[in-house]
Amino acid sequence: MLIMTRRLYFAAAHRDIHGSELTGHTYTLDVAVGGRINERTGLLVNIKELDRIVKEHVLNQIDGKCLNDRLSFFQAHLATPENIATYIAETILPLLPSDVHLHSVRLQPTPVLYTEWLSSLKEVSHMLLTKIYEFSASHRLHSDSLSAEENRTLFGKCNNPNGHGHNYELEVTICGPINPITGRVLPPERLDAVVEREVLSRYDHRYLNLDVPEFAHVVPSAEMIVKTIWERLRPCIPAPARLYRLRLYETPRNLFEYSEEDDKEQR
C-alpha cells in the first residue's frame, strides 16, 4: 500500500473554554490517503480531486472563520486541535474516491505541538497529541566492557575523554480519548509538567555519564537515552492517556524512535 500526503494551510479563530476570549492560529494540515497505484494513470489519487474535496467541504467552511460561530460542531465541541482534526477527518472520510482510504489527518497549530487522527489506531475514538521539547546535554560514548582500543575504534571522536554535546529535540506523543469537557487528550500544560520533572530538569545542561544516575554504568548513546526517557515517562502519563511514541533528534541527521510496540517487544 502506498501513502500520499497533501499539505494545506488555513487560519481560524476560536473561543476559549469560557466562550469569551478569542484566539487564533495559522494551521498546517496534512491529509494522508492510502491505497494502490492505478496502473492506467500511475497515480494513487488525483491531487486536484483531493484538494477539491478538502477545500470545498472543509477549508471553505473554516478558513478565516471563528469556528464557534460558524459551525454547529464547534458549538457542541471546544475548538481544540484534537476536535478540529476529528471534524476534518469525519468530514473527508465519506467523500474520498472508493479506491483510496483516509490514512491520517495531522494538524499543527504551533511549531511545538501537533495532533493526529490515525485510521490505524485500534481505539476508534482515540487521537495522538505530540509536544516538542528541547534540552542540551553532553556525553561520552564509552563502554566499560570494551578495551580502550575497541572503544576508540567503535565510537571514534565520540569517545573523547572530555565528552561532547548535542542540542536534543524530543517529540513526546501520547494517545487517548478526547476529554469531552476539555476537548484535549491531555492538557498540554500537564504534559509539560511531567516532561519537565522527569526529563528536562534531570538531563538539560548535564554531563550524562556523571550527572545522571541511570547512565553511570550504561553507554549514554541516543538509543539508550530515548529508551531510558520512555521508561521514565511511561508510568507518569495520567490515564486514560498513555505514552505512544518518542522521537529523539540528536542532530538534524540522526533520529531515534521508540514506541509502545517496541516497548511490548522488550517485555
The catalytic residues are 158, 205, 250
Q: Nearest to residue 130, comparing CAs of 170, 173, 168, 169?
A: 173
Strand partners for 257? 247
| Identity of residue 129 | L
87's CB contacts (< 8 A; 6+ apart) are 71, 73, 74, 77
Residue 127: exposure state from Cβ atoms within 10 A (0-12, 13-18, ≥19) = buried
Task: Specify whether the backbone of 183 is left (phi greater than 0), alpha (psi in -120 to 50) or beta.
Answer: left
Question: In whole angstroms, what is the distance from residue 68 CA to residue 27 CA?
Answer: 16
Q: Nearest to residue 29, comparing CAs of 7, 12, 49, 11?
A: 7
Task: Show the cell assigned to 28.
Answer: 498546517
Query: In this structure, are strands 126-139 and 206-207 parallel, antiparallel, or unpaired?
Result: parallel
Question: In whole angstroms, what is the distance from residue 34 CA to residue 8 CA?
Answer: 17
